[in-house]
Structure 1
Amino acid sequence: MSSQSGPDSVTDVVRWAVFSCALVPVVLLWYGTSLAGAAGTALGLAAVTAACRLLLRHAERRAARPLTEDPAPHRGRHHRTGAGAHRGGRPGGRGNTPGG
Protein backbone atom coordinates (compact mmCIF):
# COMPACT_ATOMS: atom_id res chain seq x y z
CA MET A 1 0.00 0.00 0.00
CA SER A 2 1.37 3.41 -0.87
CA SER A 3 1.95 6.13 1.71
CA GLN A 4 0.52 9.00 -0.31
CA SER A 5 -1.66 11.56 1.37
CA GLY A 6 -4.37 13.82 0.12
CA PRO A 7 -7.55 13.37 -1.86
CA ASP A 8 -6.20 10.49 -3.97
CA SER A 9 -5.55 8.26 -0.98
CA VAL A 10 -8.95 9.07 0.54
CA THR A 11 -10.62 8.27 -2.77
CA ASP A 12 -8.72 4.99 -2.93
CA VAL A 13 -9.82 4.03 0.56
CA VAL A 14 -13.44 4.83 -0.24
CA ARG A 15 -13.26 2.86 -3.51
CA TRP A 16 -11.91 -0.21 -1.71
CA ALA A 17 -14.62 0.12 0.93
CA VAL A 18 -17.35 0.29 -1.72
CA PHE A 19 -15.82 -2.71 -3.46
CA SER A 20 -15.89 -4.60 -0.16
CA CYS A 21 -19.53 -3.62 0.39
CA ALA A 22 -20.32 -5.33 -2.90
CA LEU A 23 -17.98 -8.30 -2.55
CA VAL A 24 -18.70 -9.41 1.03
CA PRO A 25 -22.41 -10.19 0.49
CA VAL A 26 -21.56 -12.16 -2.67
CA VAL A 27 -19.05 -14.25 -0.73
CA LEU A 28 -21.55 -14.74 2.10
CA LEU A 29 -24.16 -15.96 -0.38
CA TRP A 30 -21.59 -18.27 -1.99
CA TYR A 31 -20.92 -19.88 1.40
CA GLY A 32 -24.61 -20.40 2.15
CA THR A 33 -25.67 -17.38 4.20
CA SER A 34 -29.29 -16.36 3.75
CA LEU A 35 -30.18 -13.52 1.42
CA ALA A 36 -31.48 -11.49 4.37
CA GLY A 37 -28.20 -11.99 6.27
CA ALA A 38 -26.12 -10.96 3.26
CA ALA A 39 -28.35 -7.92 2.66
CA GLY A 40 -28.10 -6.89 6.31
CA THR A 41 -24.34 -7.21 6.18
CA ALA A 42 -24.23 -5.10 3.01
CA LEU A 43 -26.35 -2.38 4.63
CA GLY A 44 -24.16 -2.37 7.74
CA LEU A 45 -20.97 -2.11 5.70
CA ALA A 46 -22.48 0.66 3.59
CA ALA A 47 -23.40 2.63 6.73
CA VAL A 48 -19.91 2.26 8.19
CA THR A 49 -18.36 3.22 4.85
CA ALA A 50 -20.52 6.34 4.61
CA ALA A 51 -19.65 7.40 8.16
CA CYS A 52 -15.93 6.86 7.56
CA ARG A 53 -16.10 8.82 4.31
CA LEU A 54 -17.70 11.76 6.10
CA LEU A 55 -15.05 11.67 8.80
CA LEU A 56 -12.24 11.50 6.24
CA ARG A 57 -13.63 14.45 4.29
CA HIS A 58 -14.04 16.45 7.49
CA ALA A 59 -10.45 15.69 8.50
CA GLU A 60 -9.28 16.69 5.01
CA ARG A 61 -11.02 20.05 5.24
CA ARG A 62 -9.57 20.74 8.70
CA ALA A 63 -6.07 19.77 7.58
CA ALA A 64 -6.30 22.03 4.51
CA ARG A 65 -7.30 25.05 6.57
CA PRO A 66 -4.38 27.44 7.20
CA LEU A 67 -3.36 27.92 10.81
CA THR A 68 -4.22 31.62 10.67
CA GLU A 69 -7.89 30.80 10.08
CA ASP A 70 -8.21 28.74 13.26
CA PRO A 71 -10.41 30.52 15.77
CA ALA A 72 -9.05 31.42 19.17
CA PRO A 73 -9.25 28.49 21.58
CA HIS A 74 -12.41 28.30 23.64
CA ARG A 75 -11.65 29.65 27.07
CA GLY A 76 -14.53 27.98 28.86
CA ARG A 77 -17.17 29.60 30.98
CA HIS A 78 -14.87 30.37 33.91
CA HIS A 79 -12.35 32.33 31.86
CA ARG A 80 -14.48 35.05 30.38
CA THR A 81 -12.98 38.32 29.35
CA GLY A 82 -14.61 41.66 28.85
CA ALA A 83 -16.57 44.05 31.04
CA GLY A 84 -17.17 42.83 34.57
CA ALA A 85 -14.74 39.95 34.42
CA HIS A 86 -12.66 39.44 37.53
CA ARG A 87 -9.12 38.18 37.41
CA GLY A 88 -8.91 36.17 40.61
CA GLY A 89 -8.85 37.38 44.16
CA ARG A 90 -11.65 39.27 45.79
CA PRO A 91 -13.33 42.28 44.26
CA GLY A 92 -11.90 45.43 45.77
CA GLY A 93 -13.85 47.97 47.81
CA ARG A 94 -16.86 45.88 48.78
CA GLY A 95 -16.29 45.33 52.43
CA ASN A 96 -14.14 42.28 52.11
CA THR A 97 -12.60 42.74 55.55
CA PRO A 98 -14.16 41.39 58.71
CA GLY A 99 -16.48 43.96 60.21
CA GLY A 100 -16.26 46.32 57.33
Structure 2
Amino acid sequence: MRPAGHPHDDPAGDVVRWAAFSCMLVPVVLVVYGTSFGGAAVATAGLLAVTAACRILLRHSEKTRRAAARVSVEEPLPPAHRGRHSRVGAGMRRGCRGSGPVSPQD
Protein backbone atom coordinates (compact mmCIF):
# COMPACT_ATOMS: atom_id res chain seq x y z
CA MET A 1 0.00 0.00 0.00
CA ARG A 2 1.36 3.43 -0.96
CA PRO A 3 1.52 6.29 1.52
CA ALA A 4 -1.00 9.04 0.82
CA GLY A 5 0.34 12.23 -0.74
CA HIS A 6 3.35 10.66 -2.45
CA PRO A 7 3.72 10.60 -6.24
CA HIS A 8 3.15 7.26 -7.91
CA ASP A 9 6.24 5.22 -8.68
CA ASP A 10 4.57 3.25 -11.47
CA PRO A 11 2.67 5.50 -13.91
CA ALA A 12 2.41 2.68 -16.47
CA GLY A 13 0.76 0.49 -13.84
CA ASP A 14 -1.73 3.25 -13.11
CA VAL A 15 -2.63 3.47 -16.80
CA VAL A 16 -3.10 -0.29 -17.01
CA ARG A 17 -5.30 -0.28 -13.88
CA TRP A 18 -7.52 2.45 -15.33
CA ALA A 19 -7.73 0.57 -18.62
CA ALA A 20 -8.75 -2.62 -16.80
CA PHE A 21 -11.39 -0.65 -14.91
CA SER A 22 -12.69 0.68 -18.23
CA CYS A 23 -12.77 -2.84 -19.67
CA MET A 24 -15.14 -3.81 -16.88
CA LEU A 25 -17.22 -0.62 -16.97
CA VAL A 26 -17.83 -0.32 -20.73
CA PRO A 27 -19.74 -3.64 -21.13
CA VAL A 28 -21.98 -2.77 -18.18
CA VAL A 29 -22.82 0.60 -19.74
CA LEU A 30 -23.41 -1.03 -23.14
CA VAL A 31 -25.84 -3.56 -21.68
CA VAL A 32 -27.65 -0.87 -19.65
CA TYR A 33 -28.15 1.18 -22.82
CA GLY A 34 -29.57 -1.71 -24.81
CA THR A 35 -26.66 -3.51 -26.48
CA SER A 36 -26.91 -7.29 -26.50
CA PHE A 37 -24.76 -9.40 -24.19
CA GLY A 38 -22.95 -10.77 -27.24
CA GLY A 39 -22.13 -7.28 -28.50
CA ALA A 40 -20.91 -6.27 -25.05
CA ALA A 41 -18.77 -9.42 -24.87
CA VAL A 42 -17.17 -8.64 -28.24
CA ALA A 43 -16.49 -5.07 -27.12
CA THR A 44 -14.95 -6.40 -23.89
CA ALA A 45 -12.73 -8.82 -25.79
CA GLY A 46 -11.54 -6.02 -28.07
CA LEU A 47 -10.82 -3.69 -25.17
CA LEU A 48 -8.94 -6.44 -23.32
CA ALA A 49 -6.80 -7.13 -26.39
CA VAL A 50 -5.95 -3.45 -26.82
CA THR A 51 -5.22 -3.09 -23.09
CA ALA A 52 -2.92 -6.12 -23.13
CA ALA A 53 -1.02 -4.80 -26.17
CA CYS A 54 -0.65 -1.36 -24.56
CA ARG A 55 0.57 -2.93 -21.33
CA ILE A 56 3.23 -4.89 -23.21
CA LEU A 57 4.36 -1.77 -25.09
CA LEU A 58 4.46 0.32 -21.90
CA ARG A 59 6.56 -2.27 -20.06
CA HIS A 60 8.94 -2.57 -23.02
CA SER A 61 9.24 1.21 -23.19
CA GLU A 62 9.98 1.40 -19.46
CA LYS A 63 12.71 -1.23 -19.73
CA THR A 64 14.26 0.55 -22.70
CA ARG A 65 14.16 3.92 -20.92
CA ARG A 66 15.73 2.47 -17.77
CA ALA A 67 18.45 0.74 -19.77
CA ALA A 68 19.22 3.98 -21.63
CA ALA A 69 19.36 5.92 -18.37
CA ARG A 70 21.70 3.33 -16.86
CA VAL A 71 24.00 3.48 -19.90
CA SER A 72 24.04 7.29 -19.90
CA VAL A 73 25.07 7.32 -16.23
CA GLU A 74 27.83 4.76 -16.79
CA GLU A 75 29.37 6.32 -19.93
CA PRO A 76 30.49 9.94 -20.28
CA LEU A 77 28.89 11.94 -23.06
CA PRO A 78 30.91 12.55 -26.24
CA PRO A 79 32.07 16.12 -26.89
CA ALA A 80 29.24 18.31 -28.10
CA HIS A 81 29.10 19.00 -31.81
CA ARG A 82 28.94 22.74 -32.28
CA GLY A 83 27.52 22.66 -35.79
CA ARG A 84 28.64 24.31 -38.99
CA HIS A 85 28.15 27.94 -37.97
CA SER A 86 29.27 27.75 -34.37
CA ARG A 87 33.01 27.24 -34.78
CA VAL A 88 35.07 29.34 -32.43
CA GLY A 89 38.82 29.52 -32.85
CA ALA A 90 41.76 31.88 -32.40
CA GLY A 91 41.17 35.16 -34.21
CA MET A 92 37.62 34.31 -35.21
CA ARG A 93 34.54 36.07 -33.98
CA ARG A 94 30.96 35.88 -35.02
CA GLY A 95 30.44 38.00 -38.14
CA CYS A 96 34.15 38.65 -38.67
CA ARG A 97 35.29 37.55 -42.13
CA GLY A 98 38.96 38.32 -41.80
CA SER A 99 41.44 35.53 -41.24
CA GLY A 100 43.95 37.56 -39.26
CA PRO A 101 44.03 38.47 -35.60
CA VAL A 102 41.29 40.74 -34.27
CA SER A 103 42.27 44.37 -33.83
CA PRO A 104 40.83 46.66 -31.13
CA GLN A 105 39.00 48.66 -33.84
CA ASP A 106 36.77 45.65 -34.77
TM-score under structure 2 normalisation? Answer: 0.57
Q: Percent identity?
A: 58
Equivalent in the alignment of 1:59:
61
Deviations 1:7-63 (A, max 9, x none): 521111000000000000000000000110000000000000000000000000000
- CA-atom RMSD in angstroms: 1.8
Equivalent in the alignment of 2:50:
48
Count of paired positions: 65
Q: Does 1:8 align with 2:34?
A: no
> Hey, what's the Cα distance between the residues in 2 that align with 1:32 and 1:22?
17
TM-score under structure 1 normalisation? Answer: 0.60
> Hey, what's the Cα distance between the residues in 1 that align with 2:10 and 2:66?
14
Structure 1 position 67, deviation (Å): 2.4
Greater relative CO, 1 or 2 (CA 8 Å, sep 6+)? 1
Letter in 1 for 2:46: G
> Hey, what's the Cα distance between the residues in 1 that align with 2:10 and 2:63?
14
Q: 2:36 aligns with which of 34, 50, 54?
A: 34
* Runs ≥4 residues deviating over 4 A: none
Equivalent in the alignment of 2:96:
none
> Hey, what's the Cα distance between the residues in 2 that align with 1:48 and 1:30?
23
Q: Does 1:19 align with 2:21?
A: yes
Any stretches of 5+ residues in structure 2 without a counterpart?
A: 1-6, 75-106
